[in-house]
């Protein structure tokens, strides 16, 4: 077990190391363009659930709708963003929507779109927003998030 764990830690560290180096390389080419959606559309109270396998998607969306007793509350930030969390961090940050040249929309810090700490918006409507972490390792752990707006 121990060596197994060590191995994992080594992998994880390598992975994290890989991320940060990618980030500096990518920093120049990716240019933010206007996002496809208005960031204010995220403000409000949401039921949040996640899934990994497509067969769980409908069920997960239904579960998200039942989570409004413990809603995830998104407020407007001091600048032009919204106050939300990033993965594995209990602190609130101001995040915003960013468009990328390949037509994707990301939610994250004021960094080039597709930054490892970003989320990619998969679909966006007034009632349901679907997103996933851009970092594949984080995505593998958390799965795809479905936000359903609480009444």
Partner 1 sequence: MHVKAYSGRKKLNLRAAVAFGLFSLANGSLAFAQAPTPFAAQETMDIGDEPGRISTEEVVIEDGPYKRQLVSFRSSEPAGTIVIHTSERFLYLVLGNNRALRYGIGVGRDGFQWSGLVKVTRKAEWPDWTPPPEMIARQPYLPRFMAGGPGNPMGARAHYLGSTVYRIHGTNQPETIGHAVSSGCFRLANGDVIDLYSRVAVGAKVIIRHAATL
In the chain the first and final C-alpha atoms are separated, in Å, by: 47
Residue 66 CA to residue 43 CA, distance in Å, equals 19
Q: Which of 8, 21, 31, 125 binds partner 1 (CB under 8 A)?
A: 8
Asked if 45 is part of the footprint of partner 1 (rule: CB under 8 A), the reply reads no
- DSSP secondary structure code for residue 94 in this structure: E
Q: Which of 42, 60, 107, 130 binds partner 1 (CB under 8 A)?
A: 60
User: Contact, 107 vs 97, CB < 8 A?
Assistant: yes
User: Contact, 86 vs 95, CB < 8 A?
Assistant: yes
Asked if 10 is part of the footprint of partner 1 (rule: CB under 8 A), the reply reads no
- With respect to partner 1, which residue has the nearer C-beta, 89 or 102? 89
Number of residues that bind partner 1 (CB under 8 A): 55
Provide the minimum distance between the beta carbon of 102 and partner 1 in the complex, in angstroms, as a whole number: 21
Residue 73 CA to residue 92 CA, distance in Å, equals 11
Q: Which of 77, 104, 122, 132 binds partner 1 (CB under 8 A)?
A: 77
Strand partners, 96: 108
Helix residue ranges per DSSP H, 27-149: 57-65, 136-142
Asked if 96 is part of the footprint of partner 1 (rule: CB under 8 A), the reply reads yes
3-state secondary structure at position 5 = helix
Asked if 105 is part of the footprint of partner 1 (rule: CB under 8 A), the reply reads no
Contact footprint for partner 1 (CB under 8 A): 1-2, 4-5, 8-9, 12-13, 15-16, 19-20, 23, 47-53, 56, 59-60, 63-64, 66-67, 70, 72, 77, 79-81, 85-90, 93-94, 96, 109-111, 115, 117, 135, 137-138, 140-143, 145
């Amino acid at each position: 077990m121990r060596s197994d764990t060590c191995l994992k830690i080594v992998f994880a560290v390598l992975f994290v190391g890989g991320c940060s180096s990618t980030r500096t390389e990518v920093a120049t080419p990716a240019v933010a363009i206007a996002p496809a959606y208005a960031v204010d559309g995220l403000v409000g109270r949401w039921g949040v659930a996640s899934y990994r396998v497509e067969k769980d998607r409908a069920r997960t969306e239904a579960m998200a709708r039942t989570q409004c007793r413990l809603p995830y509350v998104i407020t407007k930030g001091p600048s032009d963003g919204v106050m939300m969390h990033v993965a594995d961090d209990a602190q609130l940050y101001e995040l915003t929507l960013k468009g990328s040249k390949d037509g994707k929309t990301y939610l994250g810090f004021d960094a080039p779109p597709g930054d490892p700490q970003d989320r990619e918006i998969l679909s966006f409507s007034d009632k349901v927003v679907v997103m996933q972490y851009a970092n594949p390792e984080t995505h593998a752990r958390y799965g795809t998030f479905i936000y359903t707006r609480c009444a």
